[in-house]
Amino acid sequence: MLSKACVVGAYQGKLEQIASHNDIDLTVIVPPRWRDERGALPLERAHTRGYRLLVEPILFNGSYHFYFYPRLRRRLTALHPDILHIDEEPYNLATWHALRLAQRQGARTLFFSWQNIKRRYPWPFSAMESHVLRRADAAIFGSAGAREVWRAKGYRGRDAVIPQFGIDPNLFPMRAEDTRTEMGFSVGFVGRLVREKGVDVLLNALAELPEAVHLTVIGAGPERAALGQLAARLGISERVVFGPWLPSTEIPGRLRRLDALVLPSRTTPHWKEQFGRVLLEAMASGAPVVGADCGEISNVIGSAGLLFPEGDSAALAAALWQLIEDGDLRQRVSQNGRARVLAHFTQAQVAAETVSVYRRLAGAA
């Protein structure tokens, strides 16, 4: 498997689960770090049992479209895999490059995609995308919406709809009890600080709620300064704590201390929420979740949380007020969230479905 996402330690639990299947010999290639809006994310070695985790340098780190592994051919020649799982979008250089190298050695190939908006890309990305769609042996889509996009763009191969990563319930244990006290109500956001994540909507909602309600924002990104200025204009700076991006291993403890986790994503011309994994982390931890009806959020939450129209801060404030006032609702949402994760979104389930794709590919070969 080739995966820049697996520099994140929490994601590596899926790799251990894949490797636990007796017929799978797994090697995962990752870069030493990945750069995005949050800064440089170094490789976390959190779950590395049962498989080989190899580190390969990449060129153009931080560029989703241009980055690639310049020494990959040497690695693949030494490994000689039967299947190369390219954990990357089909229009990127890394995918096109890896697919060509793998197929020259006779390996079967598959790619992964979250892309749930039908977009046209300029050359050379359009040419690379076309090549990958024609030549890949299989695809895994993170949502039914992503599958529809790529079928409409001409992909005709084998496919499966499987989230990229699930949740290890042992890493996100259910909190012992409702954390709500007379001292206040703790709301949280965890994610990239970019416009499409809608943190400004959350700040506006907070301004409509009592002073005992406070917000913790964990993340980094280009909107950080603007969000701090907005909090000052709204007069809520003392009720908002902006914390830095944290290693994935520190997130579970933070989530268990929240009375509600909010994902207020908004649709833009080029993006809508592709999944919202932090919702699963919070649900597994027993923190009630509130999400905008953007992209896949409603499918992730199901009936185990509260939804509001994206961009509507008044509706978000009303949803949070429901949780503040109704202890029975908080408890019910908390329990339903944990149950939904266990039923549909564990790392073991995601790994087993992924292994099924591998087996079908091996059988076809």
Asked if residue 342 has pLDDT above 80, the reply is yes
Question: Residue 38 pLDDT more than 80?
Answer: no
Helix (H, G, I), strand (E, B) or coil at 337: helix
CB 304 within 8 A of CB 339: yes
State which amino acid sits at residue 252.
P
Q: What is the mean pLDDT of the chain?
A: 94
* pTM confidence score: 0.86
Cα–Cα distance, 102 to 241 (Å, whole number): 47
Of 161, 347, 172, nearest to 249 (Cα)? 172
Quickly count: other Cβ atoms within 10 Å of residue 270's Cβ: 8
Nearest to 354 by CA among 163, 128, 78, 93: 163
Single-letter residue type at 123: W
Q: Which CATH class is domain 185-344?
A: alpha beta
Look up residue 149 and give its two tokens.
Answer: 């996009």
Rounded to an integer, what distance in angstroms lies between the CA atom of residue 78 and that of residue 150? 33
Which of 134-143, 171-180, 282-291 shows the lowest per-residue confidence on average (mean pLDDT)? 171-180
**pLDDT tops 90 at residue 233:** yes
Q: Contact at 8 Å (CB) between 298 and 273?
A: no
pLDDT at 260: 97
Give the model's confidence band at 179: pLDDT under 50 very low, under 70 low, under 90 confident, else very high.
Answer: low
How is residue 327 written in tokens?
A: 């202890």
Indicate whether 247 pLDDT > 90.
no
Does 206 have pLDDT greater than 70?
yes
CATH superfamily to which 5-166+346-364 belongs: Glycogen Phosphorylase B; (3.40.50.2000)
pLDDT(182) > 60: no
- Range(s) within the chain of domains with CATH label 3.40.50.2000: 5-166+346-364, 185-344
Dist CA 46 CA 44 (whole Å): 6
